[in-house]
Amino acid sequence: MGRRKIKMEQVQDTNTKQVTFSKRRLGLFKKASELATLCNAEVGIVVFSPGNKPYSFGKPDFDLIADRFKNESEESDSGETSSGRKRARQEKKICKRLNSIIEQTEAEKKEAEDLQKRLESADEERFNKPI
């Protein structure tokens, strides 16, 4: 009981098309993972379903690979090495996180100042009322 060879032609039935897509997508992602593991390669794949829903796979991370692909011309002009690019991505991620923390801290400081002002005005109202 071997596998039968399937003729390569477009599937017409929508249900069959969806089932075939789901099975093939998982197989494709598995092959991409094997390629990344065996060859120590960075792999990124985007596949759109028959319903135009995107599915992505990346090893080590799809977003890093996509960013690298989008910024490839900039990086090739600067002559950076792959370790330099990796470090630059890490620094960018850390800076983004730091900026987020700074914004959060500033918002909390402003909220604390507002609460302090409300507390002081409430104290003044309480002490200035006639007995």
Strand partners, 117: none
Burial 74-94 (b: 16+ CB within 10 A, else e): eeeeeeeeeeebeeebeeeee
Chain centroid to CA 29: 18
Residue 77 pLDDT class (50, 70, 90 cuts): low
Same domain? 89 vs 61: no
Considering the domain boundaries, does residue 121 fall inside one? Answer: yes
Task: Check residue 74 and give its pLDDT.
Answer: 60
**Mean of pLDDT values over 35-51:** 90
Considering the domain boundaries, does residue 89 fall inside one? Answer: yes
Considering the domain boundaries, does residue 76 fall inside one? Answer: no
**Mean of pLDDT values over 77-82:** 60
Same domain? 104 vs 64: no
Same domain? 60 vs 18: yes
- CB-CB neighbours of 19 under 10 Å: 12
pLDDT in tens, 13-29: 989 988 989 889 999 99
Same domain? 24 vs 60: yes
pLDDT in tens, 80-128: 566 777 888 888 889 888 888 999 999 999 999 999 999 888 877 777 7
Determine what percent of the chain is predicted with pLDDT higher than 90: 25
Length of the chain: 131
Evaluate whether 28 touches 45 at the Cβ level (below 8 Å).
yes
Number of domains in the chain: 2
Same domain? 99 vs 52: no
Evaluate whether 70 touches 37 at the Cβ level (below 8 Å).
no
Task: Check residue 113 and give its pLDDT.
Answer: 93
Same domain? 28 vs 65: yes
Residue entry with tokens 């800076």 = 95
Helical (H) or strand (E) element with 93: helix 82-128
Considering the domain boundaries, does residue 9 fall inside one? Answer: no
- Mean per-residue pLDDT of the chain: 84
CATH number at residue 44: 3.40.1810.10
Considering the domain boundaries, does residue 3 fall inside one? Answer: no
